[in-house]
Amino acid sequence: MKLHSHTVLRRAAEIGISIESVHTAEITVNGSRQSFPNQALMVLTVFAQPISLEEGLKKIPASGAQDWILLTSIVAKLQMLGALISHEEGLALIDKNPDSFGSPQIHIAMLNDKPRTDSFTSGLQQTIRPGDVVLDIGTGTGVLAIAAARAGAKKVYAIEASGMADVAQATIDKTEVADRITLVRGWSTQVELPEKADVLVSEILGNDPFDENILQTFRDARRRLLHPNPRILPENVKVFVLPVHIPAAILHNKVLLPQDLDNWQQWYNVDFSALRRLSADQSRYLFRANAAMAAQLEIAGEPVQLAEVDFASFEEMSIRNEVQVTAQRSFNGLLMYFESKLGDAVLSTHPKVAGYTNSWVSLVWYFPKAQRLQAGDPFTVSYKYMQGNNSEISLLIP
């Protein structure tokens, strides 16, 4: 998109920032990373709210032509990276991706996941007190905002950035609690509310629990949109991995197996051994298993807890942990799942607990060396989550 002085830009919702030195910072958007002069941080701060390019640049101190050239160059590079986006195009782009939360298929699956919605509804009924103001971030179809109002909330602010906001408004309007729900269009990190809320509810737990930017979103809401000591649903999240055996039928088209190179050499008379280096990084998940596929994975050990975050008190935006484990038997993969507390209910995506209606998919890592393990052998699971990136898991075998 060509930039003009009147172009309205805003900072993208999901950005990872890492300070490299006093002069430079690394900015990550959707897995793409780029180093910038530290003035880029000031640019991102100015464009936290939608503002025209001309007005935004006026808010950034510049002394002379060289500073001006540097700033305009930074804005252009941030826009190319996706860290700055056109305000109008940003809202529209959400709905063009069939995997986005503007897609009806996503919400059909979530509404069909009755245990999920029941856990949130039950948690709201236990948490909301008369006179409470409730904030629902990422309201989607509005189902949790409606549940909050029915649980007794005096006022509910339901925030939604995607085109699903139209569905939410139409759905809310057909209920008996419509007069107590206000739909707010946009990203929660970029809106202001007329009053602060007592309760936050939000189902932005991803397949990787943190990949929908729940940490950044909740920390921002605690600081700007909520009263001190708010009640938050979900209350926490615990991240686990489960040792599993992945059958050969599932692995066949997902990993480079030793016999593959021989087969391809015979079939095509071409040496494809260069593919080995692309298959070397095992810290990122190999595939996503829906409920049916997860049921085909044989569980080969007890769950290993890698992380726990209390949403009412956390401050750190990155997580690192190592857990020493004793093998119960050999395995070749680790399946990630999470548990989250909502009042008396505990929502779990464990494949034996969640069942076939589970609207989340499980991330699965492949570790062929773990097949050498025997009962009683030690191994270590290393976990890392950095803001703006997916979780990484490594397996260390002595």
Which positions are catalytic?
A: 203, 212
Q: How many CA atoms lie within 13 A of 65 on its CB side?
A: 0
Q: From residue 142, give the alpha-carbon distance in Å to each of 107, 148, 184.
A: 10, 10, 11
Q: How far is CA 266 from the centre of its chain?
A: 43
Among 123, 56, 114, smallest CA distance to 84 is for: 56
Type of residue found at 338: F
Cβ partners under 8 Å of residue 299, min gap 6: 242, 243, 244, 351, 352
Helices (H) and strands (E) in the chain, counts: 14, 21
Is 181 within 8 Å of 146 (Cβ atoms)?
A: yes
Buried b (16+ CB within 10 A) or exposed e, 178-206: bebbebbbbbbbbbebeeebbbbbbbbbb
The pair of structure tokens assigned to 342 is 């909502």
- The DSSP bridge partners found for residue 200 are 135, 232
Helix (H) or strand (E) holding 338: strand 333-342
Beta strands of 92-174 (E only): which ranges? 133-137, 155-160
Cα–Cα distance measured from residue 176 to residue 88, given in angstroms and rounded to the nearest whole number: 32
Cα–Cα distance measured from residue 98 to residue 95, given in angstroms and rounded to the nearest whole number: 7
- Angle, vertex CA 209, rays to CA 207 and CA 214, nearest 5: 125
